[in-house]
Amino acid sequence: MPETQPYIPDGCNAGTILRVGVGVNVALAVVVLGARAAEAGAPGQQYSAAFLELAAVAEPTTLVSLLTWCLLRRMGLRAAPYLQRLLTWLVPALAAIFINRLAAGPGAGFVGGLRPDALAGGLGFLGGALAQHYLELRAHAFSPAIDEAKFQALQSRIRPHFFFNSLNAVLAVIREDPLRAERMLESVAELFRAVMGDVKRLVPLEQELDLCRRYVEIEQTRLGERLRVQWNVGAVHPRARVPQLLLQPIIENAVRYGAERLAGNCDIEVRVRQQGFKLEIFVSNPIAREPVQREGNQIGLNNIRGRLALIYDLEASLETRVRRERFELTLTLPVEAKPAA
C-alpha cells in the first residue's frame, strides 16, 4: 500500500536546508534594499545594520522551523493534506513570535498599529507558506511521472551486463555440478527479481548485501579463485535500509574493470560502516596497468549518482579516486531505518 504523500518539508534534508536558507536571506536582502531605497543618501552601513537586525530574528526562526519540520517528518505524522500544510505554516509563525519577543524585550511598543511580535508572526506565517508551497511544487515536478520516467531510463541501463554473464556461468557448470547450478539459478532469479523491481524501493541493507554476495558467487564460477572479495561490515542499525540494487552495480563495476582486466588475482574490498546518521560504503578494486575504456564505468556511476539525487537530493554523495593502482569508491547516504512495509 503506497504511503501518504508528506506535505511537511523534510527539515533534515540538506537540499531543503540550503534552499530555505538561501531563500530567507535573499528575501531579507530584498526587503532591506526596498525599505532603504526611498531614503536618499543612506550610507552602506545602514544597509548592513538593517539586514543584521532582521537576520537576528529571521535566522533563528528559520533554524527552529527546520528542526521542527524535521521532527514532525521523522514522527511520520499522518494527517489530511490541509492540516499538514497549516501546521507547516504555523511553525515559523509561532517561532518568529517567540524569538521576536526574546530579541525585543518586554517593553516593546507598537509598530504601524501592530505589536512587533504580531508583525513577526505574520511574516513567519507568510514565509512558511511560501517555502512549503515551493517545496511541494518542486516535489510534484519530480513525481510521479517525471521521476518515474527517469528511474526507468536509469534502470534499463543498469540491467544487461550481469544477465548474460550469470547465464553463461550457470551453463558452464550445469553438467559438472547440477546442485551448484541449481543454487546459482536461484541466485540469478533473485537478481532478476531485484532488477525488475522498483529501484526507488528501500530494502534492508543485509538484503542488498546478500544480493551482492550471490552475484559474486556467480562471477567466481566464471572467473575462478582469482576473484576474491573481502567483506568488512561494521555495526549498522539493524533496520538500516538502502535503495534496491544500489550496491550490486558498484560491485559489478569492480569485477568488470578489475578481475576481467587482470591476469592475476583480483582482491576487492567492500567496507560498510555507520557514522552517526550516515552510512558509508567503501569499495576498492585493482585496475589494469594499460589504459582501458572507462566510458561504460562512468555511465554506470553517473546512473547511480542520478538515482541518489532523485532519492536523497543533496543528502547522499558518491566519490571516486585512483590511488596506488586501485580504484576507490566511497558512497555516503543517510541512514534510513524505517521498518519494512
Which of 85, 112, 141 is the C-terminal boundary of a domain? 141
- The stretches of 177-333 forming alpha helices (DSSP H) are 178-196, 205-223, 247-254, 295-312
Helices 116-142 & 14-37, crossing angle to 10 degrees?
130
Same domain, 269 and 200: yes
Same domain, yes or no: 187 and 319: yes
In a domain, 288, yes or no: yes
Closest by Cα among 184, 188, 262, 253 to 227 = 262
23 and 90 fall within a common domain: yes
The total of structural domains in the chain comes to 2
Strand partners, 230: 269
Is residue 81 located within the same domain as residue 193? no
Rounded distance, CA 127 to CA 21, Å?
Answer: 11
91, with CB counted inside 10 A (0-12, 13-18, 19+), is buried
326 within a domain of the structure (yes/no): yes
Whole-Å CA distances, 22 to 27, 53, 62, 67: 9, 17, 11, 16
Amino acid at 9: P
What's the CA gap between 92 and 88, in Å, rounded? 8
The predicted structure's pLDDT at residue 144: 52
Does residue 9 form part of some domain? no
Residue 206 shares a structural domain with residue 243: yes
Predicted TM-score of the model (pTM)? 0.63
Q: What is the CATH number of the domain that holds 291?
A: 3.30.565.10
Q: What is the model's pLDDT at position 135?
A: 84
Instruction: Give me 73's grid cell.
Output: 517528518
Domain termination site, one of 125, 141, 157: 141
Residues 322, 174 share a domain: yes
Same domain, 182 and 323: yes
Residues 92 and 222 in one domain: no
Q: Is 281 helix (H, G, I), strand (E, B) or coil?
A: strand
**204 and 327 share one domain:** yes
Instruction: Please check whether residues 18 and 104 belong to one and the same domain.
Output: yes
Q: Are residues 162 and 304 in the same domain?
A: yes
Residue 216 in domain: yes
Q: What angle do CA 29, 15, 76 make, to 5 degrees?
A: 120
Identify the pLDDT of residue 44.
57
Give the domain range for residue 246. 146-334
Q: Does any domain span residue 7? A: no
Domain boundary at 141, 174, 205, which? Answer: 141
Residue 341 located in a structural domain: no
Per-residue pLDDT, 91: 92
Please list the residues that pair with 323 across neighbouring strands.
Answer: 326
Q: Is residue 3 part of a domain?
A: no
Is 205 domain-assigned? yes
Do 160 and 294 lie in a common domain?
yes
Walk along the chain (341 residues) in steps of 10 and give the mean pLDDT of each run: 64 85 87 67 66 84 91 78 88 89 61 65 89 81 54 52 71 79 80 68 88 85 83 88 86 79 83 91 82 55 81 87 89 72 41
Strands (E), the chain: 202-204, 227-233, 241-243, 266-275, 278-286, 317-323, 326-334
